[in-house]
Structure 1
C-alpha cells in the first residue's frame, strides 16, 4: 500500500457446498472455519468472524483492496475444498457450489453483522437459508434473477 492510502472496507461473503448438501457438520465447522480464517489472513485481509450452518457459510472480513473479492472467494473455496478432502472431513468428494454473495458494510455496522453471523444457529431456527439470502439481497438493493441464485432445495 502506498503512503497516503487509507481504506476501511468490510465485506460479508456467503456461499454453500455443491448442491447445498448439508456437509458442514457441526463437528468439523470449528476446524474448517479456523482454516478458512488462516486463508483470509494469508491473503492479507482481516478475518473478523466465520460461522455457518451445515449448508452454508458466512465470512466477515476487512478487505485488503489489493486483492479482488472474486480472487479471494476463489482461493478460499479452492484451499478449503482441498483441506476438507485431504483430511476426509466429508464423505465423498467435497466441492463448493458456484457463485457467492458479497455484501459491503460501514464501520458502524460491524458489531451488528458480527453478532448476526455469530448467532447463525438461533437465526436459522426461524429462517431458512433461502429466506435469509433473499433478505440480504433485498436489504442491499441488489437486483437478481432467481434463475441465477444458489440451488435452494427448501422451497
Structure 2
C-alpha cells in the first residue's frame, strides 16, 4: 500500500491590531516559545519565528492534514489570551483579522529562515507595510488595499 509523502513550508505573517507596538521586546522570546508550543502540539515544526513589536513572522513545516487557517486562528487566539494574562500591555492586546501565508520550496528554507531571524535589521530599512506589500506582489497574490491590515501612520489610520 502506498503512503503519502509531502514537504510543505509556509511563512505566516500577522499583525497586532491597529499595528500598535504592543509586543514588548523583553518578552518576545517567551512569546516565541509559547507559539512554538502551540505549533508543535498540532504536529507542525517551527523553522523560524520572530515577533516584532507590531507583527509576527512564523515559518513552519507542516503536513497536509493540518488546516492552516485553523492553526493560525489557534495561535492568534491563544497568544492574545496569553499576553493579556501576562499583563504585558496597558491596553487590551489583539491581533488584527487576517494574515498572509506564503509557500516555499525546500531549496528556499535556509534563505527564509535567515530573512525571518534578521527582522530587526530588515526593518531598519523597510517598514512592515512595505515588507507586506512586497510579499503580496512577489507571490502575485491579488489584494484590495481596503482589506489589508489597518495601518496607523502619524497617528492616523490609513489603507
With the shorter chain as reference, the TM-score category is: over 0.9
Deviations 1:76-122 (A, max 9, x none): 00111111111212222211110000000000000000000000000
TM-score by length of 2: 0.93
The aligned counterpart of 2:96 is: 97
Quick one: distance in 2 between partners of 1:150 and 1:42? 28
Structure 1 residues not aligned, in runs of 5+: none
Number of corresponding residues: 154
The aligned counterpart of 1:143 is: 142
Task: Out of 2-11 and 57-66, give the one that drifted further.
Answer: 2-11
Contact residue 23 and residue 55 of structure 1 kept, 8 A: yes
Alpha-carbon RMSD across the aligned residues, in angstroms, is 1.3
Quick one: distance in 2 between partners of 1:85 and 1:13? 22
The aligned counterpart of 2:58 is: 59
Task: Out of 120-129 and 92-101, give the one that drifted further.
Answer: 92-101
TM-score by length of 1: 0.95
SS at match of 1:11: strand
The aligned counterpart of 1:42 is: 41
Which one has the bigger strand percentage?
2
Contact residue 20 and residue 56 of structure 1 kept, 8 A: yes
Task: Out of 128-137 and 83-92, give the one that drifted further.
Answer: 83-92
The aligned counterpart of 2:72 is: 73
